[in-house]
């Protein structure tokens, strides 16, 4: 089963036997996730077929993911930004809580929420080009306690 890209731009889901692969595919934005993408990611993880034993999260091109699409935040009200952070947190929690083994396959950047997404996985496999960081503090964004806890753990 492979979800059509045109229904969920920037994300693809492929399930083969016991392995599911979700690919973040926005290489021109370093695979930054929009609010819709965070929501779809959570839905797909919750609705994985019962036969799936392993979920691999990966990014297309030269990045795992640079996290949330900060350009999208520029068009949001403060309430919408709070909702976006809540949805992002919910998607990351869904990955942490799934019963299947989760693997982050990391090449290039895993920044901000992308770093936290990788930390939510059971295993992280990085190429020599993998880079990790939380650069949002330079933007004045304060990390929520749940995100800080994830980093500490």
Condensed to tens digits (0 to 9), the pLDDT of residues 1-47 reads 444 334 578 999 999 999 999 999 999 999 999 999 999 999 999 99
Specify the pTM. Answer: 0.88
Q: What's the CATH class of domain 11-152?
A: alpha beta
Q: What average pLDDT does range 103-109 have in this prediction?
A: 97
pLDDT band at 133 (very low <50, low <70, confident <90, very high): confident
Kindly list the domain boundaries of the chain, sorted by start residue. Answer: 11-152
In whole angstroms, what is the distance from residue 127 CA to residue 108 CA?
Answer: 8
* In the block, residue with structure tokens 């920044």: 111
- pLDDT value for 7: 56
Tokens of 135: 């650069």
Q: Residues of 77-111 as b/e, b for ≥16 C-beta within 10 angstroms?
A: eeeebeebbebbbebbebbbebebebbbbbbbbbb
Q: Is residue 98 over pLDDT 80?
A: yes
């Amino acid at each position: 089963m492979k979800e059509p890209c045109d229904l969920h731009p920037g994300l693809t889901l492929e399930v083969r036997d016991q392995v599911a692969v979700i690919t973040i595919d926005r290489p021109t934005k370093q695979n930054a996730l929009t609010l819709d993408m965070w929501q779809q990611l959570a839905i797909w993880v919750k609705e994985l077929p019962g036969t799936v034993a392993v979920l691999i999260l990966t990014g297309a091109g030269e990045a795992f993911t640079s996290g949330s699409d900060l350009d999208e935040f520029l068009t949001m009200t403060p309430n919408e930004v709070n909702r976006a952070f809540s949805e992002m947190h919910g998607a990351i929690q869904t990955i942490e809580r799934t019963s299947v083994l989760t693997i982050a396959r990391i090449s290039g950047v895993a920044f901000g929420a992308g770093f936290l997404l990788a930390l939510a996985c059971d295993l992280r496999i990085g190429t020599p080009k993998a880079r990790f960081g939380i650069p949002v503090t330079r933007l004045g964004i304060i990390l929520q306690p749940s995100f800080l806890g994830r980093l500490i753990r």
